[in-house]
Structure 1
Amino acid sequence: MTRKLTLAAAGVVAAASAVAVMWSQEPAVPATAVAHAATTPVSAVTGVNKNTGVNKNGVSAFPLASSQADEQRVAAYWSPERLKQASSYVPSTKPSPSTRSTTSAVEVGPGDAKTRTGAPRAATPPPVATPPMVGKVFFKVGDKEYWCSASAVHSAHRNLVATAGHCAYALSQDKPVQNWVFVPGYHDGVAPSGIFVGHTLYMQEDFAGQGDFDRDYAFVTVHRGFSWQPYVESGRLKYRSVDVGRLEDKVGAFRFASGKPLGRATYVFGYPAGANPDGSRPYSGQAVKSCDGTTEKKFVSAPTWQLEHGVRLPGCPFTAGASGGPWVTGYNAATRTGYLSGITSLTWNLSGGGRLDAVSTPYFNQLTKRVYAQASKQGTG
Structure 2
Amino acid sequence: MSLRRAMITSAAALSLLAPVVVAGPARAATVATVPLATVVDKAREVAGFWLADDAANLRAATPYTVPAAATGGERLSSGVVPDGPAVSIPPIGAENPPPGDEVVTSGKVFFIGSDGLPHWCTGTSVQSAYRNLVATAGHCVFDIEAPMGALGKWVFVPAYSDGAAPYGLYVGKQGVTHYDFEDLHDFDRDYAFATVHSGVVLSAPGTLTTVGRLGDNVGGLGIAANQPLPPAADVFGHPSGPHPDGSSPYGGGSLERSTGPTFAVKPSGLRVDRPVGVDSPFTASPGAAWVTGYDAGTRAGYLNGLTISVADTDADGRYDTGVSPYFDTGLFQVYRDAASRWTGSITYVSG
The TM-score with structure 2 as length reference comes to: 0.78
- Give 3-state SS (helix, strand or coil) of 2:217's partner: helix
- Provide structure 1 residue ranges, at least 5 long, that are not aligned to the other structure: 1-46, 94-102, 115-127, 231-237
**Aligned partner of 2:306 among 323, 338, 343:** 343
User: Which residue of structure 2 lines up, in the alignment, with residue 125 of structure 1?
Assistant: none
Contact in 2 for aligned 1:212/1:305 (Cα 8 Å): no
Structure 1 CA distance, aligned partners of 2:60 and 2:161?
Answer: 19
Aligned counterparts of 1:308 and 1:250: Cα–Cα separation in 2: 38
2:297 maps to: 334
Q: How far 1:264 moved relative to its partner? A: 2.7
Matches within 5 A, 1:38-77: 56-77=28-49
The residue that corresponds to 2:118 in the other structure is 145
Fraction of identical pairs, as percent = 38
| Secondary structure at 1:208 match in 2 | helix
Provide the C-alpha distance between the structure 1 equivalents of 2:54 and 2:130, rounded to a whole number of angstroms.
Answer: 30
CA contact under 8 A between 2:141 and 2:154: conserved in structure 1?
yes
1:78 aligns with 2:57: no
Which residue of structure 1 aligns with residue 74 of structure 2?
112
- The answer on 1:166 being equivalent to 2:139 is yes
Q: Which has the higher helix share?
A: 2
How many residues are paired up? 296
Judge conservation of contact 2:61–2:110 (CA < 8 Å) in 1. Answer: no
- Amino acid aligned to 1:158: R
Q: Residue by residue, what CA displacement relative to the aligned partner does 1:3-50 show, whole Å, maximum 9, x if unpaired? A: xxxxxxxxxxxxxxxxxxxxxxxxxxxxxxxxxxxxxxxxxxxx999x
The 2-side partners of 1:88 and 1:71 are apart by 19
Change (3 A) 1:313 1:91: closer
- More divergent stretch after superposition (340-349 vs 145-154): 340-349
Aligned residue among 159, 167, 186 for 1:193? 167
Contact persistence 1:130–1:288 (CA under 8 A)? no
Conservation of the 8 A alpha-carbon contact between 2:73 and 2:265: no
Contact 2:64/2:121 (8 A) holds in 1: no
**The residue matched to 1:84 in structure 2 has which SS?**
helix
- Other-structure match for 1:364: 327
Deviation of 1:56 (Å):
2.2
**Does the Cα contact within 8 Å between 1:198 and 1:223 map onto a contact in 2?**
yes
Q: For 1:136, what is the secondary structure of its paired residue?
A: strand
Query: Structure 1 pair 129/67, CA: closer, same or farther in 2 (3 Å)?
Result: same
Give the secondary structure class of the aligned counterpart of 1:318: coil
CA RMSD of aligned residues (A): 2.5
Per-residue deviation, 1:286: 1.8
| SS at 1:249 equivalent | helix
Match of 2:102 in 1: 130
C-alpha deviation, 1:166, in angstroms: 0.9
* Residues 242 and 330 of structure 1, relative CA distance in 2, 3 Å threshold: same
